[in-house]
């Protein structure tokens, strides 16, 4: 297990150990204390099922699917038992993709859900890379079904639609309708990481998508809250990702060192409290991390703790990447800065070094940060103060 450090330098695992000590000392579950949300284990949180949680269940837009407000991001899943543990604790939304771990994510998730398929909502993704025709997409979906060991998907998402042009993919629409009519998939979805506001507008305008997966956290809330509200009004189900980015991004900053609670749980609750979001997917590689996340979803959301968390994010945020995508296309030499920053988050923030490195190394020649070290002056302007050249050079030295 890779170490995950909070901004205060305390790892996520150490938070979890501290929680156990708190419980032994007799604290009543540690949830919703006067000081805010303390780390809590799911077993110690108030009893609740999907219907009684203060924060759930939620309806995923026009799909009508009911989902727990916390979902499992299975991109890095290695152990089927962890996926099954998530299901046992009430999580019912599972996100994967054909490309995650070269298909191994789907295989492991399929093992986790074997025999309990009807309890789960499975969303996977077909990527546009190397596909042109509807037949290409149909073949990809058939392969995903086989790896997942199921005969239907709840949601198929177009992976990485980063512009209005990317949203308007006729081959995907044709393939989706064909597979829906064959009973192999129920709903059409889409995922985005860059130019999210533009993509949201295009998704609403197209009328083709039932669900969207997008980046949402305390770092980009000002920009994305209105867009998410519009999606809700259009009855498109919103699934959030990278909600822990504020904590991962700012490791070691002083602003987070004085937080009274577990910053990972506070970050999750920041997203979950927005009821326009149906569920937040979180990478949970271990049983402890599943429990930590479920406890956050079940715990009372304390306003003072949220205000404290927002203040910490605001204080620490200058120089932190918000994954806003404003740098896309700025580098005349073709470096894909926003994409490189995302892979850096996987590698350094999530601690998923293999995934971050392999995605970075798979970038086409010219798109990686190889050109940055001999670039006299960086022309990329980040509105949030990220020192782009320094970050690019550092990452390339470590991952190339
Ligand atoms: S580097 Fe700056 S402009 Fe680029 S995605 Fe991050 S915050 Fe946005
Ligand atoms: S340092 Fe140069 S090559 Fe690298 S992102 Fe900036 S402008 Fe592009």
Tokens of 288: 């402890």
Question: What residue's CA is closest to ligand 1, atom 7?
Answer: 321
Query: Considering every ligand atom, which ligand is closest to the CA of 373?
Result: 2
Question: What residue's CA is closest to ligand 2, atom 6?
Answer: 378
Give 67-85 pLDDT, tens digit per residue. 999 999 999 899 999 999 9
Length of the chain: 400
Distance 337 CA to ligand 1 centre (A): 8
Mutate to test the pocket of ligand 2, among 329, 366, 369 (most ligand atoms within 8 A of CB): 369
Assign 316 a pLDDT band (cuts: 50, 70, 90): confident
400: helix, strand or coil? coil
pLDDT score, position 255: 81
Distance 161 CA to ligand 2 centre (A): 24
Q: Which residue has the higher pLDDT, 100 or 42?
A: 100
Note whether 124 and 106 are within 8 A (CB). yes
Residue 320 near ligand 1, beta carbon < 6 Å: no
Question: What residue's CA is closest to ligand 1, atom 8?
Answer: 324
pLDDT score, position 317: 72
User: How far is residue 369's CA from residue 393's CA, in Å, rounded to a whole number?
Assistant: 7
Lowest mean pLDDT among 89-103, 214-228, 343-357: 343-357
Q: Which residue has the higher pLDDT, 176 or 41?
A: 176
Residue 215 near ligand 1, beta carbon < 6 Å: no
Assign 12 a pLDDT band (cuts: 50, 70, 90): low
pLDDT score, position 250: 67
Q: For the chain, how long is the longest CA-to-CA vector?
A: 61
Give 160-219 pLDDT, tens digit per residue. 998 999 999 999 999 999 999 999 999 999 999 989 999 999 999 999 999 999 999 999
Ligand 2: atom nearest CA of 337 is: 5
Tell whether the model's pLDDT for residue 52 goes beyond 80.
no
Bridge partners, residue 190, by sequence: 158, 212
Q: What is the pTM of this model?
A: 0.83
User: 């099954």: which residue's tokens?
Assistant: 84
Ligand 1: atom nearest CA of 323 is: 5
Residue 384 near ligand 1, beta carbon < 6 Å: yes
pLDDT score, position 181: 98
Sequence-distant (6+) residues with CB within 8 A of 205 are none
Q: Which residue has the higher pLDDT, 191 or 358?
A: 191
Query: Considering every ligand atom, which ligand is closest to the CA of 380?
Result: 2
Q: Which residue, 278, 274, 163, 262, is CA-closest to 218?
A: 274
Sign (positive or negative) of CA dihedral 377, 327, 284, 152: negative
Mean residue pLDDT of the chain comes to 86
pLDDT score, position 323: 85
Lowest mean pLDDT among 28-32, 96-100, 265-269, 386-390: 28-32
Note whether 271 and 62 are within 8 A (CB). no
Q: What share of the chain is helix, strand, coil (3-state, %, to 5)?
A: 45, 10, 40
Residue 380 near ligand 1, beta carbon < 6 Å: no
pLDDT score, position 5: 42
Q: CATH classification of 12-314 is 3.20.20.100, yes or no? A: yes
Note whether 154 and 123 are within 8 A (CB). yes
Residue 337 near ligand 1, beta carbon < 6 Å: yes
Residue 238 near ligand 2, beta carbon < 6 Å: no
Distance 384 CA to ligand 1 centre (A): 7
Question: What residue's CA is closest to ligand 1, atom 6?
Answer: 321
Domain ranges for the chain: 12-314, 337-399
Question: What residue's CA is closest to ligand 2, atom 3?
Answer: 372
Assign 51 a pLDDT band (cuts: 50, 70, 90): very low
pLDDT score, position 55: 58
Share of the chain above pLDDT 70, in %: 86
Consecutive H or E run containing 152: none
Distance 339 CA to ligand 2 centre (A): 13
Residue 389 near ligand 2, beta carbon < 6 Å: yes
Give 324-335 pLDDT, tens digit per residue. 889 999 999 999
User: How far is residue 226's CA from residue 232's CA, in Å, rounded to a whole number?
Assistant: 10
């Amino acid at each position: 297990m890779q170490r995950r450090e909070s901004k205060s330098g305390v790892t996520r695992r150490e938070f979890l150990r501290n929680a156990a000590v708190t419980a032994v000392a007799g604290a009543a579950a540690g949830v919703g204390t006067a000081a805010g949300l303390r780390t809590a284990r799911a077993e110690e949180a108030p009893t609740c099922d999907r219907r009684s949680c203060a924060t759930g269940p939620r309806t995923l837009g026009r799909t009508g699917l009911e989902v727990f407000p916390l979902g499992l991001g299975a991109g890095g899943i290695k152990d089927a038992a962890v996926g099954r543990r998530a299901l046992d604790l009430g999580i019912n939304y599972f996100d994967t993709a054909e490309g995650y771990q070269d298909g191994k994510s789907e295989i492991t998730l399929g093992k986790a859900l074997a025999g309990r398929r009807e309890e789960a909502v499975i969303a996977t993704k077909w990527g546009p890379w190397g596909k042109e025709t509807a037949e290409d997409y149909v073949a990809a979906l058939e392969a995903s079904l086989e790896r997942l060991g199921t005969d239907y998907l709840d949601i198929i998402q177009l992976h990485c639609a980063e512009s209005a042009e990317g949203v308007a993919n006729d081959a995907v629409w044709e393939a989706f309708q064909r597979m829906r009519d064959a009973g192999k998939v129920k709903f059409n979805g889409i995922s985005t990481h860059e130019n999210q506001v533009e993509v949201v507008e295009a998704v609403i305008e197209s009328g083709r998508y039932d669900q969207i997966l997008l980046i949402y956290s305390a770092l980009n809330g000002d920009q994305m809250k209105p867009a998410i509200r519009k999606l809700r009004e259009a009855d498109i189900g919103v699934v959030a990702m990278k909600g822990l980015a504020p904590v991962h991004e700012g490791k070691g900053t002083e602003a987070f060192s004085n937080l009274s609670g577990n910053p990972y749980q506070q970050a999750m609750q920041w997203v979950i409290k927005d009821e326009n979001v149906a569920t937040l997917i979180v990478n949970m590689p271990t049983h402890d991390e599943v429990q930590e996340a479920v406890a956050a979803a079940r715990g009372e959301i304390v306003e003072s703790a949220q205000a404290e968390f927002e203040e910490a994010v605001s204080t620490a945020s200058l120089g932190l990447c918000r994954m806003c995508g404003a740098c896309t296309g700025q580098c005349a030499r073709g470096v894909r800065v926003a994409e490189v920053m995302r892979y850096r988050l996987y590698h350094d923030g999530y601690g998923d070094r293999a995934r971050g490195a392999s995605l970075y190394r798979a970038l086409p020649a010219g798109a990686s940060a190889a050109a940055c070290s001999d670039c006299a002056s960086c022309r990329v302007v980040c509105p949030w103060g990220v020192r782009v050249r320094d970050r690019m050079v550092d990452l390339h030295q470590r991952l190339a």
